[in-house]
Amino acid sequence: MSTEETNTLKETVISVLKTIYDPEIPIDIWTLHLIYGVDVDQEGNVKIVMTVTAPNCPVAEVLPGEVKERVQAIMGVKKVDVELTFDPVWDISMLSDETKAELGLDGDYANYSAMDFLY
């Protein structure tokens, strides 16, 4: 696979990640910055490093599996490795200003945690 094909495959992987939502927060996992890294090698193997909003998050056991399943379905992907990490621990400060506004955060982000957004 050429460098151009590898880059295109990586862009496709990112596009798919933008369609996966954390079920507790109405924002996709890419925009939430739950994805810490996406690497695609020239054989079509994909490595994703991700986190969840809290170590005790109820979706910690299922969300990485959904990510793996959805990315594995992309044409050209041979193997998917999803690594769940808590280093660094996710927090509200990782969100863009636009996402903070969409969630109704009003400026003092230190007072918010992921638990504030549970339905």
pLDDT tens-digit map of 94-110:
888 888 888 777 665 55
- The CATH architecture one would assign to domain 3-93 is 2-Layer Sandwich (3.30)
Report the half-sphere exposure of 9 (CA within 13 A, side-chain side).
Answer: 26
pTM value is 0.84
Q: Is the predicted pLDDT of residue 119 greater than 60, yes or no? A: no
Band of pLDDT at residue 114, cut at 50, 70 and 90: low
If 0-12 CB within 10 Å is exposed, 13-18 middle and 19+ buried, where does residue 107 land?
A: exposed
- The domains of the chain are located at 3-93
Pairing of strands 79-84, 35-40: unpaired
pLDDT tens-digit map of 18-59:
999 988 788 899 999 999 999 999 999 999 999 998 888 888
Q: Select from 81, 71, 116, 112 the least CA-distant residue to 94.
A: 112
Structure tokens at 107: 């400026």
Band of pLDDT at residue 118, cut at 50, 70 and 90: very low
Given a contact cutoff of 8 angstroms between Cβ atoms, the answer to whether 3 and 40 are in contact is: no
| CA pair distance 67, 82, nearest whole angstrom | 8
Structure tokens at 65: 């599996």
How does the average pLDDT of the chain come out, rounded? Answer: 88
What was the pLDDT predicted at 38? 98
Query: Angle 79-82-85 (CA atoms, 0-180°, nearest 5)?
Result: 160
Q: What's the average model confidence in pLDDT over 54-69?
A: 89
What was the pLDDT predicted at 64? 94
| CA pair distance 66, 82, nearest whole angstrom | 10
